[in-house]
Structure 1
């Protein structure tokens, strides 16, 4: 089988790691006169459709979020990824506490798998570069991974981290060997990477996108006393301690952009 015109003057692979590729639409040419101006300025601001394209073979299967598949070619089959009742209950628990889908289908065989387009930015991560403990990601970021990638639920060291840190009590930790595709509100070249060596990082707000799973995360006052925190006006901060890495947004994340683009897509579909 040959796939022609997947890449052209308007669609190009902008990033690739192993068998994972990011296909970016330079401009969305499938527009009507009513929304052409909006799409034009969106493309100029780098608000573009992006898709993950995965090559499937005997050595590489792919695990994706449920409902993320757009099309596939070749001898590729989808499996539920569930190995029994106990496994299903465990996956359901993970989905309930991390805002991820309970069951993530696994695609095996030989061929090509293309995921649904998104306006978010797609980060391709070689998990081996994050060490044996892997990385912990913010809720809702997981899009796809190599079949060799394992995951587990990690919890905060104390209850205050969940209640006051704005990060949630549970997060999804990814470890092992393989590529992971994550959805981010911020482009990769805008993310700030902090490398800790037996040190600590304090962040005012939930700006962290992902961090090394071996780091300790707590929520603490900026000063030693409540009066000092009140006077400084800073209050509580998220603290990451140990040796590892943290990727964080330069500004507070917002969902207004993606709410607007989703509304835009819905209106366009209704007109068709």
Structure 2
């Protein structure tokens, strides 16, 4: 048995812009499936790099021959691919429910195992492929940034330090932590070319707002006042800042999410 794919993954209107591990990122140069009324908007959107992107998984290139992805992300699959819930018993199901409720991510992330190809739903966001070993002991990602990963990678809920200050700063109590060896696919509202990478060695990075896409699990993440007193914070014009302290890496955007428009699917 065999499947022959034509006009995929690459074609006259699509090119592969990134590859790592079993992942490929497919970018459509223009949105050709538009009405005459939408043609002008689509044309100028493509000139400004507002394009549909699609994550493609080649299962036979993963060491575990399986991937985990965000619920509802799969568009189609071809070959000997078996979907699984990723739940390994009642205890594992309970842990996943708790983790999902506190991180804001889907509680049950489906796994796909086999030797075929899986294509995820296209998105106008940017897709980042990250090798987990480059992030030290593990990676913590911002809410909504996770897209897919090798199924051998462990997922955990990581609690933010100093919860009271962190709640006042508008952050969630928990973030999704990823641990192990493999490749992680993330979604970003700005392109990789604009992302800032900060490598800390026993130092501190302070960011005004939730601009970070991901950071090393070895870093202590807190939300703190800009000064020690409320009066000082008011005088400086700032309230709370996100603080990353220790040794590790932080990847953050130069602009807030709302400043780049509605980058939804």
Same fold (TM over 0.5): yes
* 1:111 pairs with 2:116: yes
Match 1:222 to one of 210, 226, 245: 226
Uncovered stretches (5+) of structure 1, i.e. residues with no partner: 263-272
Structure 2 counterpart SS, 1:258: coil
Report the alpha carbon displacement of residue 19 of structure 1 after superposing the two structures with TM. Answer: 1.0
Equivalence for 1:131: 136
Deviates more, 1:153-162 or 1:67-76: 153-162
Deviates more, 1:9-18 or 1:246-255: 246-255
CA distance in 1, matches of 2:71, 2:230: 45
Uncovered stretches (5+) of structure 2, i.e. residues with no partner: none
CA distance in 2, matches of 1:66, 1:255: 27
Equivalence for 2:170: 166
* 1:46 pairs with 2:31: no
* 1:211 pairs with 2:201: no
Structure 2 counterpart SS, 1:34: helix
Q: Deviations over 1:162-182 (max 9, x none)?
A: 312333110000111111111
* 1:97 pairs with 2:98: no
What is the aligned length? 260
Please list, as runs of the form range in 1=range in 2, the aligned pairs for 1:163-242 lying within 5 A after superposition: 163-242=167-246
Match 1:4 to one of 2, 6, 13: 6
TM-score where L is the length of structure 1: 0.91
Report the alpha carbon displacement of residue 255 of structure 1 after superposing the two structures with TM. Answer: 7.9
Q: Could you tell me whether the CA contact under 8 Å between 2:147 and 2:187 is conserved in 1?
A: yes
Q: Could you tell me whether the CA contact under 8 Å between 1:138 and 1:167 is conserved in 2?
A: no
Structure 1 counterpart SS, 2:255: coil
TM-score where L is the length of structure 2: 0.93
* 1:65 pairs with 2:70: yes
Q: Could you tell me whether the CA contact under 8 Å between 2:136 and 2:218 is conserved in 1?
A: no
Equivalence for 1:149: 153
Report the alpha carbon displacement of residue 205 of structure 1 after superposing the two structures with TM. Answer: 1.3
Equivalence for 1:270: none
